[in-house]
Chain A
Amino acid sequence: MKEEKAKLIVQGMKEAGVDFAVGVPDAQFIEVYKMLERSESGIRYVGAANEAEAAGICMGAWAGGKKPALVIATSGLLVATYHIARINLLHEIPLLILIPYRGDLGDPRWLGMYQKTTEPALKAMDVPYRVVRRSEDVVRTIKECHESARAWLRSAAVLFTEEALW
């Protein structure tokens, strides 16, 4: 991942007002995690042991007045499915979920299962989402999804494809 693309993700989070992020690092988003962990991002980053735990930490942080983002991989979305479903459907708490989209058409790696699981899982959990395919749409889409999530008190996700990240 190019550093300037990672900067766009963090810029989008900051402009959206995100002040707290929880995640589990993956290769595709590693530069984003590194930037978040550095204190100059201005966003408090917590590294969790798995994505389900990360979703729970986000829920608690929201209840304490933070504006959290859950930054996870497509695989991690599956790990956190029960927790996100419960947070979104029963508690109706807004998590902004940011996911580098592995397995979408154009991804050269053999990770096609995530094309079959990611969007259907979000739909099943009633989490609205946008797929970002161009770098120039990164910042605006993060801001829009965060604003809607907080207004609707429902979670929202942004999927970033290879074209947007590389």
Chain B
Amino acid sequence: MVSRYALLKKLAGVVADDTLVVACIGNTTAFWGQLKEREANLFHVTLGMCTPVAHGLALALPKRKVVALDADGNLLLNLGSLGTVANEAAKNLTIIVFDNGNYLGSHKKEPGMRTATGGKMNLAKVAEASGIDSACMVDDAEAFEQKVKAALGSNGPHVIVAKIAALDDDRPEKSRRIPDPRQNKYEFAKYIERTEGVAILGGGLGNFG
């Protein structure tokens, strides 16, 4: 099966500089941070929060493309978020789910334990039944790249479920530190302030700030 890292490399080749990317915790954040050092990344989003955070961002900035890099175990914790995404119908939101069907496999040499999608569950069908018309499942790099390009070039919301290998055998060399959540927040917020002309951080100086 194709690896998470192989698909992230494909994504890195097609994502525009100003597209906002929200990455779930673990190897998705780690690998994406190595591949794409950019201010438009929001990292370390975990336990069911990845799609909701990307969704809030997409609703706040309807003219910016937003991509969630979610995962099966993460999304399963908040499946209802797909219904909210369908109902709010943010045209600028693309949700990519790296589905390795596995808990705790990504940092190990042996697979961990299977998620529901490692059994019978199909997240693309769940997304479709939640009301997201553009939902698909892919299992190779070429189809992934094609679907991502199509999603980023059209109105969403889109869900692309990518079936990937349980283990991350081809991880990149660690060449840089991924910013911690606070540093990442400041960098991301300053980037949005600069590019969108909005005030996020504030001065903290009351009437003087």
Residue B206, interface by CB 8 Å: yes
CB pair A57 B59 closer than 8 Å: yes
Contact between B81 and A49, CB atoms less than 8 A apart: yes
**For chain B, what secondary structure do more than half of its interface residues adopt (helix, strand, loop), or is it mixed?**
helix
Among A59, A64, A66, A82, which residue has the most Cβ atoms of chain B within 10 A?
A: A64
- CB-contacts of A51-77 with B (<8 A): 52-66, 68
A128 interfacial by beta-carbon distance below 8 Å = no
Does A46 sit within 8 A of B, measured CB to CB?
yes
Given known contacts A50-B80, A58-B56, A59-B56, A92 and B185 CB-to-CB distance under 8 angstroms: yes
Task: Give the chain B neighbours of A114 by CB distance below 8 A.
Answer: none
Q: What's the A-B contact tally at a CB cutoff of 8 Å?
A: 135
Closest CB in chain A relative to B173 CB, distance in Å: 26
In the complex the two chains form, what is the Cα distance from A54 to B56 in whole Å? 9
Minimum distance in angstroms from A126 CB to a CB of chain B: 14
Tell me the residues in window 145-193 of chain B with beta carbons closer than 8 Å to chain A beta carbons.
Answer: 181-182, 184-185, 188-189, 192-193
A49 near B80 (CB under 8 angstroms)?
yes
Interface size bracket, B side = 35 or more
Judge whether B55 and A63 touch: CB under 8 Å. Answer: no
Stretch at the interface among B7-15, B29-37, B120-128, B195-203: B195-203
| A57, A58, A59, A153 — most chain B CB neighbours (10 Å) | A57
Given A52-B49, A58-B56 in contact, is the A65-B80 Cβ separation under 8 Å?
no
A97 at the interface (CB under 8 A from B): no
Contact A44 B200 (CB under 8 A): no
Do B204 and A151 have beta carbons less than 8 Å apart?
Answer: yes
User: Assuming the A-B contacts A48-B84, A49-B81, A53-B84, are A91 and B181 also in contact, with contact meaning beta carbons closer than 8 angstroms in the complex?
Assistant: yes
Question: From residue B131, how far is it (CB to closest CB) to chain A in Å?
Answer: 12
Nearest residue in B to A20 (C-beta to C-beta)?
Answer: B60
Closest to B45 in A: A56
Task: List the B side residues contacting A92 at CB < 8 Å.
Answer: 181-182, 185
Within 8 A of A (CB), among B101-157: none
Q: Which of B22, B78, B205 contacts A53 (CB 8 A)?
A: B78
Q: Does B53 contact A (CB under 8 A)?
A: yes
Interface residues of A in 80-106 (CB under 8 A from B): 82-83, 86, 90-93
Known: A56-B78, A92-B185. A65 touches B61 (CB 8 A): yes
Q: Is the Cβ of B182 less than 8 Å from the Cβ of A50?
A: no
Contacts of A145 in B (CB 8 A): none
Give the one of A20, A63, A65 with max B CB within 10 A. Answer: A63
CA distance A91 to B182 in the complex (A): 5
Asked whether A56 lies within 8 Å of B192 as measured between CB atoms, the reply is no
Residue-by-residue, is B78-93 near A (CB-CB < 8 Å gives 1, otherwise 0)? 1011011001100000
Q: How far is the CB of A36 from chain B (nearest CB, A)?
A: 14
In the A-B complex, list the 3 residue pairs whose CB atoms are closest, starting with the nearest.
Answer: A60-B56, A49-B80, A64-B60
Task: Give me the interface of A with B, judged by CB distance under 8 Å.
Answer: 20, 22, 44, 46-50, 52-66, 68, 82-83, 86, 90-93, 147, 150-153
Query: Told that A47-B84, A66-B60 touch, could you supply 7 new A-B pairs with CB distance under 8 A?
Result: A48-B81, A56-B51, A57-B55, A60-B55, A91-B184, A92-B185, A151-B204
Provide a sorted-by-A list of 14 A–B residue pairs whose CB atoms are within 8 angstroms.
A48-B52, A48-B80, A50-B80, A57-B84, A59-B52, A59-B53, A63-B53, A64-B196, A65-B61, A65-B192, A65-B193, A65-B200, A86-B47, A151-B204
